[in-house]
Amino acid sequence: MLFQVGGQGARPTFFEMAAAQQLPASLRGALTYSIGVLALRRPFLHKVLDYEDEFFALLMLVLETHSLRNTDASFSESLYGLRRRAAKIRTKQADIRSKSNDGIQHSSLEKHQRVLSVVFLVVLPYVKSKLHSIYNKEREARLQASLWGPGDERFEDVDYFDEAEASIASRTSTETEATIRTRLAKNIQKIIGVCYPWLHATTEGLTFTYQLLYLLDATGFYSVGLHALGIHVCRATGQELMDTSSRISKIRNRERERLPGPPWLKAVQGALLKCTYAVLDYAQTGLIAAVFIFKMMEWWYQSAEERMSAPTVYPPPPPPPPPKVAKDGIPLPPDRTICPLCSQKRANPSVVTVSGFVFCYACIHKYVSQYKRCPVTLMPADIDQIRRLFHDM
């Protein structure tokens, strides 16, 4: 079975689908980084970072709805020239012979498919992100409980102040309700902590399976969501790309004609609607630019950080100058293999660490024991400063 790596036909390659799927994550990273930098001078932007999931989900809800309504594609798919088509299996043999051989007929998306596409693109990732954060908190709480004991709840961030007030103040009906809500919240967190790993493993396994089958050209659906909705992602033809602007203008003109009210109210609403569309178009273009700028900055700062964090390699220092022979010291023989003390070839060569000169072990041991110095440089030495050499240079 051959891997699909070419770019021919209406079926997108695996790499096109993977790039379109990873674009929202890159967009989120770009927005988070940009807002984080701006928040250093505008502290009120920290509130946006505190509700990062909600802010990004709302933004993607607007973008995905706008894109699916105008182009029958998600925000990221439209950037890669892809379109979503409803897949219908043909049963007539004539249709199979006259058209394609795959037995599938593509048509434009219906309204419920657009709505469900928004659910799979925005709502489900948001829910999964919240479940992941709750699971991380529950895992940290279990880790702290294992370290500090089950009775120590100092580090649990689930209504610590409510419990303190309940121990001091009198028991009222509101405190009882708060205790019930606290217990319910803890039970829900425990259930999520148990079930989420299995849910995450199942979704990741299905995602990997579908992507592998798509890569092997064994299925036309890239993900479980597309299969559940009965939607194929296809390349847009040149005519479709050329007709996109005219289609969008027709849709917007039709919406302006449907505005209720007297003519002056329609004019005001039409102007507001036109401004809204212009903002969405500019926002879409700006987000695309933000993604590319973020990737460029990420590469730039990552390479700069690697250069800064890499250890500085300095050239090796020059060797120290050889010690000088003292005037009253024993002169060195011209042959380096001769011991300066016995004037014979060295036996069991040993070095005096204070000077670096090599002698016979018996000769230097006897001399240092008697005179407490190096015989060549006359530098103070001890027996402990004699080292045996296992290779005579």
Distance linking the first and last C-alpha atoms of the chain: 65
**Element containing residue 152 per DSSP (H, E):** none
- Assess whether pLDDT exceeds 80 at residue 65: yes
Q: What CA–CA distance (Å, rounded) separates 234 from 220?
A: 10
User: Residue 325: left if φ>0, alpha if ψ -120 to 50, beta else—which one?
Assistant: beta
Q: What CA–CA distance (Å, rounded) separates 302 from 291?
A: 16
**Element containing residue 386 per DSSP (H, E):** strand 386-388
pLDDT tens digit sequence for 201-238: 999 999 999 999 988 888 888 888 888 888 888 887 76
What confidence score (pLDDT) does residue 77 get? 86
Torsion angles phi and psi, residue 324, rounded to 5 = -85, 145
State which amino acid sits at residue 155: F
Q: What CA–CA distance (Å, rounded) separates 125 from 119?
A: 9
Highest mean predicted confidence (pLDDT) among 80-84, 297-301, 306-310, 362-366: 362-366
Highest mean predicted confidence (pLDDT) among 170-184, 239-253, 349-363: 349-363
Taking each continuous run of H as one helix and of E as one strand, the counts in the chain are 13, 6
What confidence score (pLDDT) does residue 45 get? 81
Three-point CA angle 29, 35, 41, nearest 5°: 150
- Assess whether pLDDT exceeds 70 at residue 193: yes
Domain boundaries defined on the chain: 1-88+109-147+185-263, 324-392
Q: Which two tokens stand for residue 130?
A: 């919240």
What confidence score (pLDDT) does residue 206 get? 92
Inter-residue contact 14 to 4 (CB < 8 Å) = yes
Architecture of the domain defined by 324-392: 2-Layer Sandwich (3.30)
**Element containing residue 359 per DSSP (H, E):** strand 358-360
Highest mean predicted confidence (pLDDT) among 56-70, 94-108, 286-300: 56-70
pLDDT tens digit sequence for 90-123: 544 444 444 444 555 666 788 888 889 889 999 9
Spell out the residues 6+ positions from residue 146 whose beta carbon is closer than 8 angstroms to its own.
none
Q: What CA–CA distance (Å, rounded) separates 176 from 182?
A: 10
